[in-house]
Every structure is written in structure tokens, then in C-alpha cells.
Structure 1
Amino acid sequence: MGKIGFVERMPIKRQLILTFVWIMVFSVACTVITLVFGVGWIVSNKWIRPANSYENKIPSLVAYVKSQGDAILDPISRPELEKRIPGDGIQYQAVDLSGKPLYGTMQERKFPTKQALIENLNTTKSAGTTKSFGGMFIRSVPVMSATGDLKGAMLFRYKLEATTAASGSNWINLGIVLYFVVSPFLYVALFTSLFAARFGKRIARPVHNLIEASKRIRDQDLDFTISYKADNELGKLTESFENMRSALKDALLREWKLEQERRDMMDAIAHDFRTPMTVIQGNVELLADTPDMPRSQAEGHLKVIEDNIRKVNRLIQDVQIASEKDLEYFPLRGAHVSLRQFVQDKEREIGFMCSSRRVRFSFEYEDLVPNAEEAVFMDVQRISQVLDNLIANSFRYLPAEEGWLGVRIVRIASALQFEICDNGPGFNDKDIPHVFKKFYRGDKGQSGLGLYSAKAIVEKHGGSIRALNRQEGGACVAFTILTAAPPANDEEH
């Protein structure tokens, strides 16, 4: 990448302001030069009439009317009168003593009565505005006979505004004046185009680099760097893009490592399958080869088969969890459910599992919010999955004799607390900080997938989970979930 100039290093806002200043300075300078030449041309050609040019003609017209006497009211005098009146700026009307129009370029009647006419003689009154910046005025001139009798009046309506001295057909003059008027806009457009092009080149430089970088990322090529350095928004953007590229590369490397760990985990689980399957096969063959085996002895072999089938089921569950690549992104299917019914169902279900394994079982439910609504919001299937994982994990490590499992559920404000404890060997102290990590294998060979999935589900419910050892001996896993319904658009994550 080439050298970055001083202006290019500025913040985009400052570059825009500087570009705008340049545009205005050059535009104003050229406009001033154009107007100086334009005013000089107009003055030298006397092309602009002053605003009172028509007003200055009124006195001569008044004198002419007085010189003609009442003969001016005869339409035969019209041609001679119009020779003295500039028709582009002055209109006139001859009226009799009653105010009735006799002839002229104004058609409408101005004075309805003789009295109104007499009251307005020798006056100049406003007659409205013009299309440009100016006004219209009417001068009323009395018409007297030779004997001094009032016979009528002449009305002159004139403009009071600056006008051009050239005729309407002088297109060259009009074009020049039009250019003087629009020249500021033309200069602004011209210099905006020039300076915007330079500004665009400065912007396009890093943008093209970002586009090229995105294409390389699309082609899965991450072995490059973006070296554009500037203390502005584009510099920060390219720096962020470079950080993203670096992070993406690291993420892909981590993903590759994770996939490798997953394969290793699957290999380990496949290896773990061999032992229980071998035990099951051996006991099944022994039962098949010894049809006369005493029932008490056969029940022992069946118990061994049953225990190893449970191990196989556990390994199958681990395989399912290991195959869920994006377990963190699974959706919740929350709904309002009866808390009492949920507690009763879980007590009955867990109690049945414990009785079938000859495990002592204790179940406690405490409601610290007695006046709360019966229904709570949660994903029943997922919370049941958490309980099943934790209980199955406890069953694996219960002693063969006098095994005990305890479940305690406590309702607090907008939350439920669960605690599953047993009297097994408990957790190793060094394993406790890691038991909820994906693919963690402790000293006792557990994969940790069940606890990992339990942690993911609990956190999806806005809660937390922790593992600890009982003072009396054995392990406990406690977790809390929130039971308040989220906003409608957040019910599925």
C-alpha cells in the first residue's frame, strides 16, 4: 500500500469539513469575480432600469393630459397618447365624470361612482404587488374643459420595480443575466464534483482493500494482513477488520482442535463400549449354555447384564451429547406449567428409579412464596433432562449397599432451586472446578458431557449450577433456574 497523505490521515468528519470549506472558498471567489464582471457589463450597457423609471414618466404624462384638456377623453386621441406611454410598464384608462371607462389598456372599472372619482383625483394609491419584488400604483389625473369644468379623469397604473431595458426578444442579454444569477450554483456544483472526486479516492483506497480482504476470507484464505494505518474511522475499521480476521483464524484453529478433541472423545467412548458389551455377551452366552442354572445364580448374572446395559445407555447418551456440535445454541421451548404437578411427577419418577435399584430415596419440596401463582415458566423437557443426567451420574457412583439419593426443590421469588445429593465417593477436589467443562475427563474416567449439557440448559434458563461435596460424604450438584416468562421475542434463544 502506498504512502498515506496528511489529509488522508484526518478523521472523516474533518476531511468532510475541509472539503466543504474548499468548495465554498473556490465557489465564492469565482462568484465574486463573475459578479464584478457582470455588474460592469450591465452598467456599461445600461441594461437595468431603476425601480422609479416608470414613476419618473408620470409628470410628463400629467402635463400632456392637462395640455389636451377634455379632448383627451375622445378615443380619437388614443394613438397620440399611447406614443408617450411605455406599454411594458404603464397602463392607462380614460374615464368620464361618473367613473365609466371610455378607453385604455385597463379594462376593469376603478371608481364605481362620481364621488369616488372626485375623492381620488390628484392622488397616487397602491394597486397591489407585481410578480417581482415591487408594487403597482395608480395616479388619478383630472381632465378639465377649457372653461375649467371637470369632465373626467385619466388613470395611470405603473410599476415601481427594477426592470430590464432590453426587449423580450434579446435572448443573448437574458442568457447573460441568467448566467450571472445561476453562476454561484454552477460553481458549487463544479467544485463539489472536483473535490468530491478527490475525497472519494481517499475513501475508496481502504474500502477496496477491505473488499479484497473479504473476498479472500470468502475463499477461506486467512493468511494475509491489512496494513492501512490512519487515525480516523477508516483506519479503525480496517484495524477492526484485521482483528476480526486474526480472531477468525484463531477460531478456526480452535474449532479444528475442538473437532480433534471430539474425535478423540468418540474414540474413547467407543473403546469404553467394548468392556460392558464384552461382559454382557459373556453373561448371555453363559446363561444360554447353562439352561439348568439355579435361579439365584441366574439372577446374579442378569444383574450384571442389567448394570452393564445401564453403562451402555450412559455411553449412548454421551455419544448423543458429543455429536451436538452447537449445544450452546439449542432453543428452549418454554411454557407455563403447573409447579405442583411437575414436582409430583418428578417425585414419583425418581422414586421409581430408586426403588428399582434398591436405593434409599428422600424428596423435599419447600415453597417460600406461598401466595405466588401456581404456574411457572420453564422448558419441562430440558429441566427433566438436567435432573435425569444428574441422577444418572449419582447412580453410577452409589455404593452397592445402602445407597442413598436425596432431591430437594425450593421455590423462591421468580426462581426454583434444585439440589441432588448422594452418599457416593464424591468429587475429587481438583476436579470440581472442571466437571462442567466439555469433554473433561476426571481421574475416575467420567466424560463430563452430562454435567456440561446440564450447565448449558441451566444457563439458558438464566440460572447457575455448581458442584460440591457433602460434609457427611458424597456429592451434591445444586442449580437454580429463573421461572419468569421472558419477552415474547426472547422465548426462543
Structure 2
Amino acid sequence: MSIRLKLLFSYAAMLVVPLVLIVLTALLLVFVFRGDLQNLRSFYETQIEGIDDHDYHQLINHTIARNPALVTDPGFLTTLSDEMKTGDQFVIVLIDGNPYFVSKAIQTRTQLISRLPAFHHSGYRHEWSTKSYGNEFFSLSQYDFVPKSGQSGSLYVVTQVQPLVYFSRKYLPILLTSFLVILILTNSLLTYFMSKSIIRPLRKLHKATRKIKEGDLEFQVGVGGKDEIGQLGVAFEEMRSQLEKSIRLQLQYEENRKELVSNISHDLRTPITAIRGYVDGILDGVADSPDKIEKYVRTISAKAAEMDRLIEQLFLYSKLDLKRQPFSFEPIPIAAFLADWADELEFELEKMRIRLETEIRLEASAQVLADRDQFRRVLSNVIQNSVNYMDKEDKRIQLFASSDGHHVRIQIEDNGPGIEREALRYVFDRFYRAEQSRSADTGGSGLGLAIAKQIMEEHGGEIRAESEYGQGTRILLLLPVRKEGDRA
């Protein structure tokens, strides 16, 4: 339910409930003091005519005092009874305890007649409280007199009381108190629930904004629901969570940047130091023969080439990391591609006395979507990493390729020194070398496998490393098989 509807319903309830209670209280008072609505109408009618209940009682008292003979006159009693019956009032006259006159409407109420109070003395008047006679309630007004015959007589004005009216009269204080309590509770509960559903969430949001302003993001907003404030709370929590992640990522980037600068400085310092040393050697005359000078110059050239390769790899990794390296994907028959690449690789490895063993179990029709140049770079980086760490006399690299129908599985395995278990999870991190001395002569730049991982992820593939220390390392490449309808 929206806040707008909540406010409308709550304010409507605050107005309607008290009005209903006021009307009920008014009706209750009518029942209490007039009996029912018909009696209220009769009350106004009798007020207009100049006769009401009080006048009846005065009339009876006056008649008994001035002319008691009328009290035993059937005609007078019949007229009085007819006038009083509109107010559910009836007349009963007992002479010596025996019924002398009974209004026609209650002649059948024998239980009422038999239980009327006894004669006390002439001039005695008493208002009896409402009592139950069978299933009906009546109130009595007793007037005792002595007629000319000298007998004892009692005139009773019997008023029929409705059960609801009797109950209302009896429990009026409790009812009024209950209505007041209900009214107070209604407004209190409405105020409480409105506070709970609107004010409390707003306070939580205000508290959350203060925490964010102070830089504290390690908390949860804790405001939910389906109304507007609940939706605002959910959106606020999402914003806080994204902001927290963004700040953490920014801190991580800053840490990575510092590490990158440190690694670049270290890797560039070594060849620069070597270049400066050889240049100083030439300038100082240490290279005193043409052969030495040529050797120094060639060394300087190699170190410069090393720096150039390092800078090129740094630039490539940076573009891959920022998703700015363009890729040209195309369907590639992977079996033919691997066969051609293996032939070229075998020729190069023979120069380094490294034996290449290949086993390609792929159908000729199997294809993958890949960027030829970038995927070739992945394979070259993996091979270069194996070559850099070769330490056996019988140097061997094995290439296996197969497919399960969903992925092409390419496995490159060497018999090098292997990687320790603790270091295995870091091999795809940038600038990581198992050879911590960071010598380019043995470990390369430390970016090869990190670049390979970035390229494989851009291809929708995966790269893994398995190794047994002292036995060798296995690199596994997984590429999705191209299905019919896949676009380049």
C-alpha cells in the first residue's frame, strides 16, 4: 500500500471513528433516558402538547390527594391508561391486594401482577428499580391510597423497559469509559503504526546518510517494504553497496597502480643500468678493441630490445585491463590452425634443442571464434614461459588437443622444474615470477601468463595451471566450440 493511501485511510479513520462513537453515544443516551427512538419522538410530541411523564406523576399525586375517588373510577383509569400506553406505560390498581384495574396490554402478565409490592400506608410513594419479570423488564412507581370504602389501595404505573435500554442504564459508566478508551486507543494505534511505517524508516535513512557523509560504509540500511519508502530504502542500500564496492575497487586499483609502478621501475632499472655500464665502458676506453666495442654495442642493443619488449607488453596488458584492446573474431578451423602453428613451433624449438610432441584429436570441421593474432600470442606466451624455465638435459614440450563437443581443450605440458603448490595460484598475476630474483634471463617480464589470461577471458574461454614440483607444469586452455548460427 502506498504512503498516500496510508495517509488517506489513517486520517479518514481518525475522523470517522470518533464520529461513529459520538453517534453511538448519543443513541445510547437516548435509550437510557427515553427508552428508544419511538419514545424520543413521543417525548417531543408530548412536549408540544404540554404533557410528559413528569406531568403524569403530578396528575396522579394530585388526584390521590384531592379526589381519591377518581382512582377507583374505571373510566378515569381507562382514559389515563390509553394516554400512557404510547410511552410503554401501563396502569394497575390493587384494592386489598386484588386486581381492580389492569391495562389491557398487560392483563396477560400474571407474573408481573402477582409480584407487585404490597400496600404500605396512605400517601406512600416509591420508585422501584427495574426488575426482570419472566423475559421482560419493568420499572414500577407505587402510589398507596385509601378510598372512601376504607380499603387499602395501591396504584402502580408500570413502565416496560427494553432489555437493551436496561443494560445501557445499568452499565452506562462502563460503556462510556469503554468508548473513551477505544477512541484513545484508536488514535494511539494509528499514530504508532504511522510512526512505525513512515517516521522510523525515514530516521534510519537519515542515520544512514550521516554515516555515508562521515565515510562509514560498513553497515546495512535495514529499510525494506513494498511502499515508496521501502523502495527508497532498497535503492539506498543498493547505492551504499555499490559505493562501498566502488571505493574498495578504487583502493585496489590504487594499490595495483603502486605495485605496477614499482614493478615497472624494477624491470626497467636492470637493462638501463646495464646499458649505462656498457656505454661508460666504451667512453672510458675499457672497450679498447673493435671486437670489444662490437660486443658492447650488441649487448646495448639487446638490452634496448628487452626494454622495448617489456614496454610493449605493459602497453598491451594495460589496454586489455581497460578493455580497450580491439579483437577481430572469426571462425577458425582449430585443427588446421594448431597443426600449422605446431609446425612453425617445432622448427623454432629445434634450434633450442627442445623436442615437441603433438597429438591433435580434433575433427577437421571443428571451429572456434577467435582472433588469430591474439590467440597465437596466448600460445606463444605459454610456450615462452615453458622455455624460460627449462632445466633438464632432455627438454620436452607436449601439445594435446581434443574436444568434448562443447569446448576445445588444448593442453601444453613441459618437463621443467614445476611450480610449488603455494605459488601455483599466483602464476596468472601480473609481474609474478616463480623466480623471485626477477631476472629477465630466466623468468621473462612476468606479464606473459597474465596477458594470456586476459585474452582467454575476452574469448569467453578459460586458462588453468597444474603442476607437480620437480616434474613439470601443465597449462590447460579451454575455448567454446562454435555452433551453427554463432556470429563472429
TM-score, normalised via structure 1 length:
0.48
TM-score, normalising length from structure 2?
Answer: 0.48
Higher Cα radius of gyration: 2
Query: Higher relative contact order by CA 8 Å / sep ≥ 6: 1 or 2?
Result: 1
